[in-house]
Amino acid sequence: MKYKKNQYSEGFSFCGTAIGVVFLVWGLFSIRILWWFIISSLIGLSILIGQFAAIANRSRLRKLVKIEFETNPNVSVQDISKNTGITEKDVQAIIIDLKLRGGWKGAFSPMTGAAIPVQDTSTPEKESKFCFSCGTPLRENNAVFCAYCGARITE
């Protein structure tokens, strides 16, 4: 599988799918003009095939990150990025998707960024700072990494 930069977070789009459908329908309604039917239908089909390929690739990337967590339960976002070649931005997006789908239950150490397999169920004491990537309240004001998505916290 060939990976392109930020392919997970920017690869699929509902707007692109809608444009593909519009071209395909436009081609089908213009069947009386053969050359226009062929051109617009081919454009629509190629856009839709690209969008479906992006969906399939997103699934493969999720599996790859999940395997990283299974092989090394204390891995960090940076380590996953180095091991797989996936950008940190995409790794963070994949982690959030895995958590939303129930594919990975865990957290990240606020100080080291290492994964913690079982998520802490305590409530945050003070919610003064939030993660810029996922919006989760930070439990510790001096945290360097987000406990939810593993993103590096910058001031």
Instruction: Kindly report, residue by residue over 93-152, the tens digit of the pLDDT.
Output: 899 889 888 888 888 888 888 988 765 455 545 446 788 888 888 877 788 888 888 888
Contact (Cβ atoms closer than 8 angstroms) between residue 132 and residue 155:
no
Residue 137's pLDDT is what? Answer: 84
Average pLDDT, the chain: 84
Residue 120's pLDDT is what? Answer: 47
Please check the confidence at residue 28 and state whether its pLDDT lies above 80: yes
Question: Per residue, what are the HEC states of the chain?
Answer: CCCCCCHHHHCCCHHHHHHHHHHHHHHHHCCCCHHHHHHHHHHHHHHHHHHHHHHHHHHHHHHHHHHHHHHCCCCEHHHHHHHHCCCHHHHHHHHHHHHHHCCCCCEECCCCCEEECCCCCCCCCCCCCECCCCCCECCCCCCCECCCCCCECCC
Residue 127's pLDDT is what? Answer: 43
Residue 11's pLDDT is what? Answer: 74
Instruction: Kindly report, residue by residue over 39-66, the tens digit of the pLDDT.
Output: 999 999 999 998 998 888 888 899 999 9
Residue 79's pLDDT is what? Answer: 92
Could you give the CA distance from residue 80 to residue 108 in angstroms, rounded to a whole number? 13
Residue 105's pLDDT is what? Answer: 86
Residue 122's pLDDT is what? Answer: 53
Instruction: Kindly report, residue by residue over 1-15, the tens digit of the pLDDT.
Output: 566 676 777 778 888
- For the chain, domain boundaries: 7-104
